[in-house]
Amino acid sequence: MTARSFWLEGAPAPRPALRERMRADVVVVGAGFTGLWTALALTRGPGAPRVVVCEAETVGYGASGRNGGFVDASLTHGLANGVRHFPDEIDELERLGRENFAGFATDITQLGIDSAFEPTGMLDVAVEGWQAAELDELAALHDRFGEPTKLLDAEAARARVNSPRFLAGLYRSESGGVVNPAALARGLADAVERAGVELYERSPVTRLACDGRDVVVATTEGEVRADRAILATNAYSAGLLPRTRRHFVPIYDYVLVTEPLSHAQQARIGWSAREGVADSGNQFHYFRLTADDRILWGGYDAVYYPRGGVGPRYDDRPATYATLERHFRATFPQLGDLAFTHRWGGAIATTTRFMPVFGEALDGRLLYALGYTGLGVATTRFAGQVLADRVLAPHSPLLRLRYVTSRPFPFPPEPLRTAGITLVRRALARADRREGRRGALLGVLDRLGIGFDS
Mean pLDDT, 10 residues at a time, the chain of 454 residues? 85 96 98 98 88 98 97 96 96 98 98 98 96 95 94 98 98 95 98 98 97 95 98 97 95 97 96 96 93 97 91 95 97 95 96 96 97 96 98 96 96 89 78 72 70 53
Measured between alpha carbons, how far is 292 from 297 in angstroms, rounded to an integer?
15
Measured between alpha carbons, how far is 291 from 2 in angstroms, rounded to an integer?
19
Contact criterion met (CB below 8 Å) for 8 and 348: no
Measured between alpha carbons, how far is 72 from 134 in angstroms, rounded to an integer?
19
- Given the DSSP bridges, would you call strands 357-361 and 340-350 parallel, antiparallel or unpaired? unpaired
Measured between alpha carbons, how far is 328 from 344 in angstroms, rounded to an integer?
16
pLDDT at 245: 95
Residues 6 or more apart whose CB falls under 8 angstroms from that of 203 comprise 17, 18, 54, 55, 56, 219, 220, 221, 222
pLDDT at 454: 44
Which is nearest to 52 in space by CA: 22, 15, 72?
Answer: 22
First to last CA, the chain: 24
Contact criterion met (CB below 8 Å) for 275 and 160: yes
pLDDT at 424: 79
Measured between alpha carbons, how far is 248 from 315 in angstroms, rounded to an integer?
19
Contact criterion met (CB below 8 Å) for 345 and 321: no
Q: Is the pTM of this model over 0.85?
A: yes
Provide the 10 A C-beta neighbour count for residue 396.
15
Which is nearest to 227 in space by CA: 23, 436, 454, 439?
Answer: 23
Measured between alpha carbons, how far is 420 from 320 in angstroms, rounded to an integer?
21
Provide the 10 A C-beta neighbour count for residue 415.
10
Contact criterion met (CB below 8 Å) for 22 and 38: no
pLDDT at 176: 94
pLDDT at 193: 98
Which is nearest to 435 in space by CA: 128, 27, 98, 14?
Answer: 128
Residues 6 or more apart whose CB falls under 8 angstroms from that of 142 comprise 79, 148, 149, 172
Q: What proportions of the chain, in percent to the nearest 5, are helix, strand and coil?
A: 40, 25, 40
pLDDT at 2: 62
pLDDT at 442: 67
Which is nearest to 7 in space by CA: 58, 49, 53?
Answer: 58
Respond yes or no on whether the N-terminal peptide bond of residue 415 is cis (omega within 30° of 0). yes
Measured between alpha carbons, how far is 152 from 280 in angstroms, rounded to an integer?
14
